[in-house]
Amino acid sequence: MSSSSTDKVFAGAVPKVYETYLVPLLFEPYAADLVKRVASRSFTRVLEVAAGTGVVTRGMAASLPERTSIVATDLNQPMLDQAAVVGTKRPVTWRQADAMQLPFEDGTFNAVICQFGVMFFPEKQRAFAEARRVLRPGGVYIFNVWDRLDQNEFADAITAGLAAKYPADPPRFLPRTPYGYYDHATIKQDLTASGFNAVPDIVTVTQRSRAKAALDPAIAYCQGTPLRGEIEARDSSGLEEATKAAAEAVAKRFGQGPVDGKIQAHVVTIER
Protein backbone atom coordinates (compact mmCIF):
# COMPACT_ATOMS: atom_id res chain seq x y z
CA MET A 1 0.00 0.00 0.00
CA SER A 2 2.27 2.76 -1.30
CA SER A 3 -0.31 5.53 -1.28
CA SER A 4 -3.84 6.08 -0.12
CA SER A 5 -6.68 8.40 -1.02
CA THR A 6 -7.68 8.24 2.65
CA ASP A 7 -4.55 10.09 3.85
CA LYS A 8 -6.46 13.38 3.93
CA VAL A 9 -9.70 12.04 5.45
CA PHE A 10 -10.24 13.07 9.08
CA ALA A 11 -13.75 11.95 10.00
CA GLY A 12 -15.70 9.52 12.18
CA ALA A 13 -14.05 9.13 15.58
CA VAL A 14 -10.82 10.80 14.44
CA PRO A 15 -11.60 14.51 15.17
CA LYS A 16 -12.39 13.94 18.86
CA VAL A 17 -9.32 11.76 19.42
CA TYR A 18 -7.23 14.24 17.44
CA GLU A 19 -8.31 17.14 19.67
CA THR A 20 -7.98 15.16 22.91
CA TYR A 21 -4.61 13.52 22.27
CA LEU A 22 -2.72 14.94 19.28
CA VAL A 23 -3.30 18.62 20.00
CA PRO A 24 -1.60 18.65 23.42
CA LEU A 25 0.97 16.04 22.38
CA LEU A 26 2.18 17.65 19.15
CA PHE A 27 0.37 20.73 17.99
CA GLU A 28 0.10 23.17 20.91
CA PRO A 29 3.79 24.18 21.04
CA TYR A 30 3.97 24.74 17.29
CA ALA A 31 0.66 26.58 17.31
CA ALA A 32 2.12 28.99 19.86
CA ASP A 33 5.14 29.46 17.61
CA LEU A 34 3.01 30.24 14.55
CA VAL A 35 0.73 32.58 16.48
CA LYS A 36 3.75 34.52 17.75
CA ARG A 37 5.00 34.90 14.16
CA VAL A 38 1.60 36.13 12.99
CA ALA A 39 1.16 38.47 15.94
CA SER A 40 4.54 40.12 15.28
CA ARG A 41 3.10 41.66 12.09
CA SER A 42 0.13 43.91 11.44
CA PHE A 43 -2.49 41.94 9.52
CA THR A 44 -6.11 42.89 8.93
CA ARG A 45 -7.35 39.74 7.16
CA VAL A 46 -5.94 36.30 7.94
CA LEU A 47 -6.84 33.03 6.25
CA GLU A 48 -6.00 29.71 7.86
CA VAL A 49 -6.06 26.61 5.66
CA ALA A 50 -6.12 23.04 6.99
CA ALA A 51 -7.15 24.43 10.37
CA GLY A 52 -8.02 21.01 11.79
CA THR A 53 -9.71 21.28 15.16
CA GLY A 54 -8.58 24.88 15.54
CA VAL A 55 -5.57 24.99 17.85
CA VAL A 56 -3.90 27.76 15.81
CA THR A 57 -7.25 29.45 15.23
CA ARG A 58 -7.86 29.64 18.97
CA GLY A 59 -4.41 31.11 19.51
CA MET A 60 -4.91 33.76 16.84
CA ALA A 61 -8.37 34.65 18.16
CA ALA A 62 -6.87 35.20 21.60
CA SER A 63 -3.76 37.10 20.46
CA LEU A 64 -4.58 39.13 17.37
CA PRO A 65 -6.36 42.49 17.59
CA GLU A 66 -10.13 42.51 17.36
CA ARG A 67 -9.87 44.41 14.09
CA THR A 68 -8.07 41.43 12.49
CA SER A 69 -10.60 39.17 10.80
CA ILE A 70 -9.86 35.43 10.87
CA VAL A 71 -11.23 32.89 8.40
CA ALA A 72 -10.39 29.27 9.27
CA THR A 73 -10.90 26.53 6.68
CA ASP A 74 -10.42 22.80 6.43
CA LEU A 75 -11.20 20.16 3.83
CA ASN A 76 -12.94 18.00 6.43
CA GLN A 77 -16.14 19.43 7.89
CA PRO A 78 -16.03 17.05 10.91
CA MET A 79 -12.76 18.68 11.98
CA LEU A 80 -14.34 22.13 11.79
CA ASP A 81 -17.36 20.85 13.71
CA GLN A 82 -15.02 19.72 16.49
CA ALA A 83 -13.25 23.09 16.39
CA ALA A 84 -16.58 24.87 16.76
CA VAL A 85 -17.43 22.72 19.79
CA VAL A 86 -14.21 23.83 21.50
CA GLY A 87 -14.84 27.43 20.47
CA THR A 88 -12.71 30.57 20.29
CA LYS A 89 -12.24 33.61 22.48
CA ARG A 90 -13.87 35.82 19.85
CA PRO A 91 -15.84 35.08 16.70
CA VAL A 92 -14.05 33.66 13.69
CA THR A 93 -15.45 32.44 10.38
CA TRP A 94 -15.33 28.65 9.93
CA ARG A 95 -15.62 27.43 6.35
CA GLN A 96 -15.15 24.11 4.62
CA ALA A 97 -12.71 24.57 1.76
CA ASP A 98 -10.16 22.71 -0.33
CA ALA A 99 -6.73 24.34 -0.14
CA MET A 100 -6.21 23.53 -3.83
CA GLN A 101 -9.36 25.43 -4.84
CA LEU A 102 -9.96 28.21 -2.35
CA PRO A 103 -13.40 29.89 -2.58
CA PHE A 104 -12.05 33.43 -2.23
CA GLU A 105 -11.33 36.29 -4.61
CA ASP A 106 -7.80 37.24 -5.61
CA GLY A 107 -5.96 39.39 -3.08
CA THR A 108 -8.48 38.91 -0.27
CA PHE A 109 -6.01 38.33 2.59
CA ASN A 110 -2.69 39.71 3.74
CA ALA A 111 -1.69 36.49 5.51
CA VAL A 112 -2.28 32.81 4.83
CA ILE A 113 -1.39 30.42 7.66
CA CYS A 114 -1.17 26.64 7.62
CA GLN A 115 -0.11 24.37 10.45
CA PHE A 116 0.96 20.85 9.38
CA GLY A 117 -1.44 20.73 6.47
CA VAL A 118 0.84 21.17 3.46
CA MET A 119 2.04 17.55 3.64
CA PHE A 120 -1.54 16.36 2.97
CA PHE A 121 -2.07 18.42 -0.19
CA PRO A 122 -2.04 16.03 -3.18
CA GLU A 123 -0.85 18.82 -5.49
CA LYS A 124 1.38 21.06 -3.41
CA GLN A 125 2.28 23.47 -6.19
CA ARG A 126 -1.40 24.01 -6.91
CA ALA A 127 -2.13 24.65 -3.23
CA PHE A 128 0.79 27.08 -3.00
CA ALA A 129 -0.47 28.87 -6.11
CA GLU A 130 -3.89 29.21 -4.49
CA ALA A 131 -2.34 30.67 -1.33
CA ARG A 132 -0.43 33.15 -3.46
CA ARG A 133 -3.55 34.03 -5.47
CA VAL A 134 -5.64 34.98 -2.43
CA LEU A 135 -2.79 37.00 -0.91
CA ARG A 136 -2.53 40.73 -1.45
CA PRO A 137 0.79 42.03 -2.83
CA GLY A 138 3.18 42.17 0.11
CA GLY A 139 1.18 39.54 1.97
CA VAL A 140 2.85 36.58 3.63
CA TYR A 141 2.38 32.83 3.61
CA ILE A 142 3.50 31.05 6.78
CA PHE A 143 3.34 27.28 7.19
CA ASN A 144 5.11 24.49 9.00
CA VAL A 145 5.87 20.89 8.08
CA TRP A 146 7.29 18.03 10.10
CA ASP A 147 10.94 17.12 9.70
CA ARG A 148 11.76 13.53 8.69
CA LEU A 149 10.46 10.64 10.74
CA ASP A 150 13.65 9.84 12.65
CA GLN A 151 13.63 13.37 14.09
CA ASN A 152 10.17 12.79 15.58
CA GLU A 153 10.70 10.09 18.13
CA PHE A 154 7.20 8.93 19.12
CA ALA A 155 6.11 8.68 15.48
CA ASP A 156 9.29 6.79 14.64
CA ALA A 157 8.78 4.31 17.49
CA ILE A 158 5.13 3.75 16.57
CA THR A 159 6.01 3.18 12.91
CA ALA A 160 8.55 0.55 13.97
CA GLY A 161 6.09 -1.09 16.37
CA LEU A 162 3.40 -1.38 13.71
CA ALA A 163 5.92 -2.69 11.16
CA ALA A 164 6.73 -5.50 13.59
CA LYS A 165 3.03 -6.26 14.03
CA TYR A 166 2.30 -6.23 10.28
CA PRO A 167 5.62 -7.38 8.77
CA ALA A 168 4.12 -8.44 5.44
CA ASP A 169 2.36 -5.12 4.87
CA PRO A 170 3.45 -2.42 7.34
CA PRO A 171 1.34 0.75 7.51
CA ARG A 172 3.25 3.58 5.83
CA PHE A 173 0.95 6.55 6.42
CA LEU A 174 3.30 8.34 8.84
CA PRO A 175 6.51 8.29 6.76
CA ARG A 176 4.56 8.72 3.53
CA THR A 177 2.48 11.76 4.39
CA PRO A 178 2.89 13.74 7.64
CA TYR A 179 6.64 13.04 7.78
CA GLY A 180 7.24 12.86 4.05
CA TYR A 181 7.63 16.51 2.99
CA TYR A 182 10.66 17.93 4.76
CA ASP A 183 13.32 18.54 2.10
CA HIS A 184 14.17 22.24 1.90
CA ALA A 185 15.13 22.13 -1.76
CA THR A 186 11.84 20.48 -2.71
CA ILE A 187 9.83 23.00 -0.72
CA LYS A 188 11.66 25.91 -2.35
CA GLN A 189 11.22 24.39 -5.81
CA ASP A 190 7.48 23.91 -5.29
CA LEU A 191 7.05 27.48 -4.05
CA THR A 192 8.91 28.87 -7.06
CA ALA A 193 6.91 26.69 -9.47
CA SER A 194 3.69 27.98 -7.90
CA GLY A 195 4.55 31.59 -8.70
CA PHE A 196 6.30 32.88 -5.58
CA ASN A 197 9.35 34.95 -6.52
CA ALA A 198 10.75 35.66 -3.07
CA VAL A 199 13.25 33.41 -1.32
CA PRO A 200 11.51 31.57 1.53
CA ASP A 201 12.84 31.77 5.06
CA ILE A 202 12.98 28.23 6.49
CA VAL A 203 13.85 27.66 10.13
CA THR A 204 13.95 24.39 12.05
CA VAL A 205 12.16 24.36 15.40
CA THR A 206 12.72 21.57 17.91
CA GLN A 207 10.27 20.93 20.74
CA ARG A 208 9.55 18.20 23.29
CA SER A 209 6.45 16.02 23.25
CA ARG A 210 5.34 14.76 26.65
CA ALA A 211 2.62 12.39 27.82
CA LYS A 212 1.66 10.72 31.09
CA ALA A 213 2.11 7.25 29.61
CA ALA A 214 3.16 5.46 26.41
CA LEU A 215 -0.47 4.68 25.63
CA ASP A 216 -1.27 8.35 24.98
CA PRO A 217 0.92 8.81 21.87
CA ALA A 218 -0.16 5.36 20.68
CA ILE A 219 -3.83 6.38 20.85
CA ALA A 220 -3.02 9.74 19.29
CA TYR A 221 -1.36 8.31 16.20
CA CYS A 222 -3.24 5.03 15.78
CA GLN A 223 -6.73 6.35 16.46
CA GLY A 224 -6.52 10.11 15.84
CA THR A 225 -5.04 10.15 12.33
CA PRO A 226 -5.71 8.39 9.00
CA LEU A 227 -3.29 5.73 10.24
CA ARG A 228 -6.44 4.36 11.86
CA GLY A 229 -7.86 3.54 8.43
CA GLU A 230 -4.67 1.74 7.40
CA ILE A 231 -4.80 -0.41 10.53
CA GLU A 232 -8.48 -1.22 10.07
CA ALA A 233 -7.88 -2.10 6.42
CA ARG A 234 -5.47 -4.79 7.58
CA ASP A 235 -7.65 -6.01 10.44
CA SER A 236 -11.12 -4.56 10.89
CA SER A 237 -11.20 -5.55 14.56
CA GLY A 238 -7.52 -4.98 15.29
CA LEU A 239 -7.37 -1.31 16.24
CA GLU A 240 -6.98 -1.92 19.97
CA GLU A 241 -4.30 -4.57 19.46
CA ALA A 242 -2.41 -2.32 17.07
CA THR A 243 -2.63 0.55 19.56
CA LYS A 244 -1.27 -1.77 22.24
CA ALA A 245 1.63 -2.78 19.99
CA ALA A 246 2.39 0.90 19.33
CA ALA A 247 2.28 1.68 23.05
CA GLU A 248 4.68 -1.18 23.76
CA ALA A 249 7.08 0.18 21.15
CA VAL A 250 6.99 3.63 22.76
CA ALA A 251 7.46 2.15 26.26
CA LYS A 252 10.38 0.04 25.07
CA ARG A 253 12.20 3.11 23.83
CA PHE A 254 11.14 5.68 26.45
CA GLY A 255 10.30 3.60 29.52
CA GLN A 256 7.23 3.05 31.63
CA GLY A 257 5.37 5.97 33.18
CA PRO A 258 5.63 9.50 31.74
CA VAL A 259 7.31 9.68 28.33
CA ASP A 260 9.25 12.52 26.73
CA GLY A 261 10.27 12.55 23.06
CA LYS A 262 11.80 14.92 20.57
CA ILE A 263 9.65 16.50 17.86
CA GLN A 264 11.03 18.67 15.07
CA ALA A 265 9.52 20.76 12.29
CA HIS A 266 10.42 23.38 9.68
CA VAL A 267 8.66 26.76 9.62
CA VAL A 268 8.46 28.40 6.20
CA THR A 269 7.75 32.10 5.64
CA ILE A 270 7.52 33.65 2.19
CA GLU A 271 6.20 36.98 0.94
CA ARG A 272 4.06 37.47 -2.12
Give, to the nearest 10 degrees, the angle between helix 153-165 and helix 239-254. Answer: 130
Interval 139-159 mean pLDDT: 98
pLDDT tens-digit series, residues 165-177:
999 999 999 999 9
- Three-state secondary structure call for residue 72: strand
User: Which residues 6+ apart lie within 8 Å of 147 measured at CB?
Assistant: 179, 182, 204, 264, 265, 266
Question: Of 192, 197, 46, 225, whose CA–CA distance to 124 is shortest?
Answer: 192
Cα atoms in the 13 Å half-sphere on the side-chain side of 209: 28
pLDDT at 191 over 50: yes
Neighbours of 18 (CB within 10 A): 23
Model confidence at 12, pLDDT cuts 50, 70, 90, reads confident
Give the type of residue at 125: Q
Q: Does domain 5-271 have CATH number 3.40.50.150?
A: yes
Distance CA 123, CA 126 (A): 5
pLDDT at 3 over 70: no
Percent of the chain with pLDDT over 70: 96
Interval 205-226 mean pLDDT: 96
- SS3 for 212-229 is CCCHHHHHHHHHCCCHHH
All structural domains of the chain with their residue ranges: 5-271
pLDDT at 150: 97
Distance CA 194, CA 124 (A): 9
